[in-house]
Amino acid sequence: MSEPSIERQGAAMYLTDDTGERWRVHDAHFTGGRPHRVPLGFPRAHIRHFVNAQGERRAYTFVKDRRRDLTLDALLEHFHGAG
């Protein structure tokens, strides 16, 4: 098992989970029924995507007033709640 961590590279953020898998983090806001990427931590983001190098995607849907922090604890909570 690995120690989970986050890494920032410019505007990109990566989460490494406890298995050592690395996931890029994206936030999106729906307008006109379609998702549009927004800056990470955007207060009106509806969904947070986690995408690994093989293209596997996991998505976490924010409920109203749910925190959109970019801390390790918040990202792990969202990652584990993602489907």
Structural domain count of the chain: 1
Of the candidates 61, 54, 49, 66, which has an alpha carbon nearest to the alpha carbon of residue 15?
49
Domain that holds residue 54: 5-81
Cα atoms found within 13 Å of the Cα of residue 65, Cβ hemisphere only: 0
The CA-based angle 52-50-69, given to 5 degrees, is 140
pLDDT digits (tens, 9 = 90+) for 11-26: 999 999 999 999 999 9
CA nearest to 29, candidates 45, 43, 50: 45
- This prediction has a pTM of 0.91
pLDDT over 90, % of the chain: 82
What local confidence, expressed as pLDDT, does residue 10 receive? Answer: 93
Tell me which H or E stretch contains 49.
strand 47-52
> What per-residue confidence (pLDDT) applies to 54?
97
Give the residue-averaged pLDDT of 77-83: 93
